[in-house]
Chain A
Amino acid sequence: MSTTMVTDTVTVFSRELRPVLRNPFSVIFTIVQPLFFLALFAPLLPDAVGGRPALQWFVPGIIVMSCLFGTSTTGANLLLDMQTGSHERMLVSPLSRPALIIGRALKEAAPMFVQTAFIIAATIPFGFRLHFVGALIGLLILAVFCVGLGALSYTLALACKSQDWMFWAVQQTLLFPLLLLAGMLLPIDGAPGWLRFLSRLNPLSYVVDAERALFNGDIVSATVGGGLLAAVVVAVLGLFLGTRAIRRA
C-alpha cells in the first residue's frame, strides 16, 4: 500500500467515523446488542462445545458474528450517499479507489472492536479466559476479513444502484447461511456430510476456527494459517471486485 493510499484511507475512515464520534449514542445500542444475545444464548449451551468449555468456544464466534453483521452493512450507508450525491463528489476527487472502500469498511468494523472489549469484559466474570496476544492477532485477521466483506457489501450496493430493497434482500439471504455454515452458533462437527462439505467451502468457517484457536492461545497452527489465508483471499477478492465496480459504474 502506497502512502497515498494510507492517507486516503485515513481521510475516508475519519470522515465516515466523525458523525459516530460526535454522537456516540447512535452506536451504543448496536454495541450492547450481542451482550443480550450472549446472556440469552449462553445459558442454553452445554458445559463443553466442540471440545472446549462452552464460553471458550462461543465467545470468539459471537465476536466474529458481530463483525459480520456490522461490515456487511457497509454498502447500506453507501446507498444513501449514492442517492444524495456525496459518493459522486468523492469519486471525482483524487482519492484512491481502494481507499474509498477500505475506509468505509473499517468504519463499520471499528465499533465492533469496541464491542469485542465489552463482550470480553462481560464474560470474564463467568469464567471466560482470554489469551491477550492471541486475541490481538485474531482481531487483526478479523480486520482483514472485514475489509473484504465490507468491499463485497460496497460492490453489492453499487450493483443494486439505488434499489435499497435489493441490497437488503441479497445481504440477508447470504448472511444467515454463511453464519450458520461457519459453525458460529452451533458446532458443525456432528452435521451430515453435505453440510460439512458446504461449511468447508465457506471462507468464514476458516476465520471462525482461527479466532477460536487464537482466543485460546493456540497461535502457531495450521488453523490460524487457514483463517489468515481465507481472510486475505476475501479481502483481495472484495477489493478487486469493488474497484472494478467503481470503474465500471
Chain B
Amino acid sequence: MAAIAPSVVFMDDTMIRARGLTRHFTVKKDKVEAVRDLDLDVRSGELVALLGPNGAGKSTTLRMLTTLLRPTSGTAEVAGYDVVAHQRQVRGHIGYIGQGNGAGHNQRGRDELISQGRAYGMSKAAARAKAAELIASLDLEGVADRVTSSLSGGQRRRLDIAMGLIHSPVLLFLDEPSTGLDPQNRANLQEHIRRLRAEHGTTIVLTTHYLDEADQLAERVIVIDHGRLIADDTPGRLKADYAGDRISLTFDHEHDARRAVARAAGIATGAQIEQTGSNIVIRAAGGTRLVPKLLRSLDDAGVAVTGVEVARPTLDDVFLNLTGRSLREDGGVPVPPRDSIESPTSQEEYAA
C-alpha cells in the first residue's frame, strides 16, 4: 500500500456520516440491539465525546466506525470511505486507541511504534523518526526501550496514544481512554488530547462514562442510552436545555420563604420551585443572571435573605433528566425521576 497522506477527500469537511447505523447481537438466543438507527455527522476538526453508561452502545458504535464490526444495517462513511466497502481506506486514514493496551507485553515500546508505522505503509526511516518524536512529546524517553510489561499503567496508556498517532491520522478514535487511570494521569491524557487538537486540527471522537471528562474535554457531547442517540450538543447547551441551575435561598422564617416562592415564580417564569421549611430551591436556566434580580425583588419586598447558593448543573443532571437514571451509578440502578420527564425506555430493556 502506498503511504497514506492526510488527504482532502471531503467536499464539505464531513469526517463521519452515519445513517441508520444499527447493530444487533445474539446473546443466548436473545436479540440484543446494541446500537439502533444511529444518525451521526461529525465535521473535520471537531472534538466529540460519546457519553453513556456501560452497555449503552458507545463502544459498539466506535467499533463499527473503525471497521472492527460490521453494521447489521445502515451505512457509515468515515474519512470519506464506506466502512464496509472500503475498509482498507478507512483503516489507513484513522487512528484508533482501544480499551486495552496496543503494545505486545513482550515487546519494547519503540519497536512497537516502528512496526505500527510500517503497518500503515510508512518507510522504516520515517517510522523511526516519527517514533522518536512521539516518544519525546509523550514523555516516554526513559521507558521506550524497555519491555512494555514493565511499564506503569499511565506509561502504557501514553504508549497507546503514541501508537495511535504514528501515522498522523486525520481522525482519531479513543475508546474509554482514561478508564483505569489515576486522576493525575487522566488530566495528563486530557492535556495530550487537547494539544493534539490544537496543534494538528485532528478530529477526535472518544467514548467515556466519566461526566467530568466529557464536560471538560469535549466541545460536543453525544449522549447515548440503550443504543440510541438521545441528545447531541455542546456541554453548555445540554445543561441549559436539559438541566438548569440550582438556586438555593435560605431565610430566617418559614413565612419569608413562602413569600419568596411567590416572588420567584413571578420572576423566573417556568422555573421549578420547591420550598422546604425556611429554604427554597429554584431550578432554572441562567441562574447567575436570575439571582441578582431575585435578591433585588426580595429586598424591595422586605424579605431578608440569609444565604444564597447557585450550583451549575452537571452532565449527570442532563442524563438524569433525559433518562430518569443517574450516570454516576454507572447506569445500572434506576433512581426515581426528580421531575416530570419520563424515562424513554424501561429498565428491563437495558443491555449490558
Contacts and interface: CB of A to CB of B under 8 A. Distances in A.
A19 B119 contact: no
Contacts of B9: none
B7 to A, nearest CB: 14
Given A15-B107, A88-B68, A93 B119 contact: yes
B205 interface: no
Given A14-B115, A85-B100, A85-B101, A93 B107 contact: no
Contacts of A89: 96, 98, 102, 116, 163
Contact of A80 (B103, B105, B119): B105
B115 A15 contact: yes
Interface string A1-36: 000100110010011001100100000000000000
A82 B115 CA distance: 18
A80 B104 CA distance: 9
Given A11-B115, A18-B107, A92 B121 contact: no
A212 B92 CA distance: 46
Contact of A88 (B100, B116, B121): B100
A81 B91 CA distance: 20
Interface residues of B, number: 31
A86 interface: yes
Contacts of B94: 92
Main secondary structure of the interface of A (DSSP, over half): helix
B184 interface: no
Contacts of A136: none
A84 interface: yes
Contacts of A80: 105
B75 interface: no
Contact of A91 (B68, B103, B111, B118): B68
Question: Which label, helix, strand, loop or mixed, suits the secondary structure of the B interface?
Answer: loop
B101 A94 contact: no
A161 to B, nearest CB: 14
Nearest to A99: B119
B107 A19 contact: yes
A233 interface: no
A94 B102 contact: no
B102 A86 contact: yes
Contacts of A86: 100-104, 112
B180 to A, nearest CB: 12
B115 A94 contact: no
B120 interface: yes
B101 A4 contact: no
Contacts, number: 72
Contact of A84 (B4, B105, B118): B105
A3 to B, nearest CB: 9
Contact of B98 (A4, A85, A94): A85
B67 A92 contact: yes
Contacts of B116: 89, 93
Contacts of B96: 89, 92
B1 interface: yes
B100 A92 contact: no
B338 interface: no
B119 A94 contact: yes
Contacts of B121: 94
A94 B96 CA distance: 12
A95 interface: yes
A140 interface: no
Contact of A19 (B66, B70, B106, B120): B106
Nearest to B90: A94
A80 B88 CA distance: 25
Contacts of A90: 119
A94 to B, nearest CB: 4
Given A11-B115, A11-B119, A86-B101, A94 B68 contact: no
Contacts of B118: 7, 11
Nearest to A11: B118
B99 interface: yes
Contact of B100 (A11, A84, A247): A84
13 contacts: A4-B1, A7-B118, A15-B111, A18-B107, A19-B107, A85-B100, A85-B101, A88-B68, A88-B98, A89-B96, A89-B98, A93-B119, A94-B121
Given A19-B106, A89-B163, A92-B96, 5 more contacts: A18-B115, A80-B105, A84-B101, A93-B116, A94-B120
Of all A-B residue pairs in the complex, the 4 with the closest CB atoms, nearest first, are A85-B100, A89-B102, A15-B115, A92-B96
